[in-house]
């Protein structure tokens, strides 16, 4: 082999090693990114579930004003029933 061919071959070997190292680094980085995507997808699903639960809880939640209104209507109905009972006793 001529000295020129040996030089070309050595450069080729060096470049091949560099490319293999770069490939391994990129492969490792790719795996880390996939793990990160999986983690973020799980977090997203958990957040969606929590948000859905929060919406349901908010629909069920009875505010203080709603409770006061309901007590007032119930008291009014009880007074009307008491009046009716009093009228029946007459």
What are the per-10-residue average pLDDT scores of the chain (90 residues)?
A: 92 97 98 97 96 85 79 93 86
In this structure, the dihedral spanned by the alpha carbons of residues 60, 66, 69 and 74, taken in order and rounded to 10 degrees, is: 20
3-state secondary structure labels for all residues of 3-62:
HHHHHHHHHHHHHHHHHHHHHHHHHHHHHHHHHHHHHHHHHHHHHHHHHHHHHHHHHHCC
Domain coordinates in residue numbering, the chain: 3-89
| pLDDT recorded at residue 55 | 86
pTM, two decimals, is: 0.56
| pLDDT recorded at residue 50 | 95
DSSP type of residue 44? H
């Amino acid at each position: 082999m001529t000295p020129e061919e040996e030089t070309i071959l050595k450069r080729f070997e060096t470049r091949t090693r560099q490319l293999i190292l770069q490939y391994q680094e990129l492969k490792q980085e790719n795996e880390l990114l996939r793990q990160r995507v999986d983690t973020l997808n799980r977090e997203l699903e958990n957040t969606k579930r929590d948000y859905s639960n929060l919406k349901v809880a908010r629909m069920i939640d009875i505010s203080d004003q709603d409770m006061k209104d309901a007590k007032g209507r119930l008291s009014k109905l009880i007074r009307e029933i008491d009046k009716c009972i009093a009228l029946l006793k007459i």
